[in-house]
Amino acid sequence: MIDFPQERAQTFLTQFRTLVECESPSNDPRSLAASARLIAEIGEQITGIRPHIRTIEGFPHVHFQVGTGPRRVLLLGHHDTVWPRGTLASIPWSVDGDAVSGPGTDDMKGGILIALHALGALLRHAGEEQLDGVSVLITADEELGSPTSRPLIEELSRDAEAVLVFESGGPAGQVKVARKGVAIYELEVVGRAAHAGVEPDRGVNATVEVSHQVLAIDRIGTPDGSTTVVPAVMQSGTTTNTVPAGATVGVDSRAITVAEQERVDRELRGLRSVHPEAELILHGGINRPPLEERFAADLFERAREIAAALGHPPLEVIRVGGGSDANFTAGVGTPTLDGLGTVGGGSHADDEHALLSWIPRRVELTASLVDSLLRDPVARPAADGRLRRVRQRRASLRRVSP
């Protein structure tokens, strides 16, 4: 087992503040570039490895690679945040007892450092030769849905033996073994305009039609909430004296299995207009496959045993509805465990914070888990035809009603 000495914990805290105070909103290329350079510098100090910054469409992704051998274990995180530049003025870095606060502390600048310090500890423990094939990828667009980093994530994880993801853990230190898959749609209704006062019968009212469709969409989810299909933002019409010629409704869907994602997709594409002259056009599709628990089960059992051997509190699991890049790594069939980052709370909120007492535990757990996986990899789950179909599907536009 690998421990994290107290003197390194102080170094961690200094680096943590430096990262947090380098603001990195997802939509600010200059800030992201500065953040990537800082991560490269700090990461090289910790590991001795000079990373490659891979900039794709303006988004700088930082990749640390040990050796040149086949990919074995990937440590995955992101350095972009949801906080706009200037947030530090109202939510500054602060330390209050066990809690450190500031934008990005829990999501996920602390997680970045946990991954890098774990790799540094491994290199001191086993040496570079023994870690050949281990890598760390810190992306720059996760909060936007990973539009440029997804191909890179899938490339690096597809042939790996395991992926560890450093999103924050549960409030009691749980790791995340399941995440719902995400699908985003927009249903467009095409009607026909007419004067609302003079000849409304000549129109095809898109507001009325979209209202029927919203009720139909609302019935697609499951009663127990395991699959959610939520009609969200809706827009229709132009003026009060015009029969609306167009309307749209955005739909957010979450499901715990690929089979449920496909069922929802079929039902949405099977919607039919109530008015015979209204036209329905469905945009969008499945964005992230689910992190199904079977991809995390063996990794969690290994982590649970290691945490016990390290004398940590009993390691438990949590299942969440939100997506992360773990969805993509499980989606290509690689064993994946998420939630190995900081333990705290308030992600995306004014009270975002991380607990200092958990940081050494997370570094020790990660380093010991990677060391164990290099000696004895977990089994790869059997291939699933549904996963292959989801990976091949692209966001689509399809006319679903004449």
Residues with catalytic roles? 80, 142
User: Tokens 């390691």 sit at which residue?
Assistant: 315
Q: Which two tokens stand for residue 103?
A: 């934008």
Q: Which two tokens stand for residue 281?
A: 């056009």
Question: Radius of gyration over alpha carbons of the chain, in Å?
Answer: 24
Residues 297, 25: Cα–Cα separation, whole Å:
34
Instruction: Give the end-to-end CA distance of the chain in Å, rounded to a whole number.
Output: 64
User: Tokens 């990899």 sit at which residue?
Assistant: 377
Residues 218-221: contacts with CB within 8 Å, 24+ apart? Answer: 220/253, 220/264, 220/267, 220/268, 221/253, 221/264
- Helix (H/G/I), strand (E/B), else coil: 75: strand
Residue 329: left if φ>0, alpha if ψ -120 to 50, beta else—which one? alpha
Identity (one letter) of the amino acid at 357? S
Report which of 22, 29, 342, 10 is spatially closest to residue 170, judged by C-alpha positions.
342
HEC readout, 246-311 = EEEEEEEEEECCHHHHHHHHHHHHCCCCCCCCCEEEEEEEEEECCECHHHCHHHHHHHHHHHHHCC
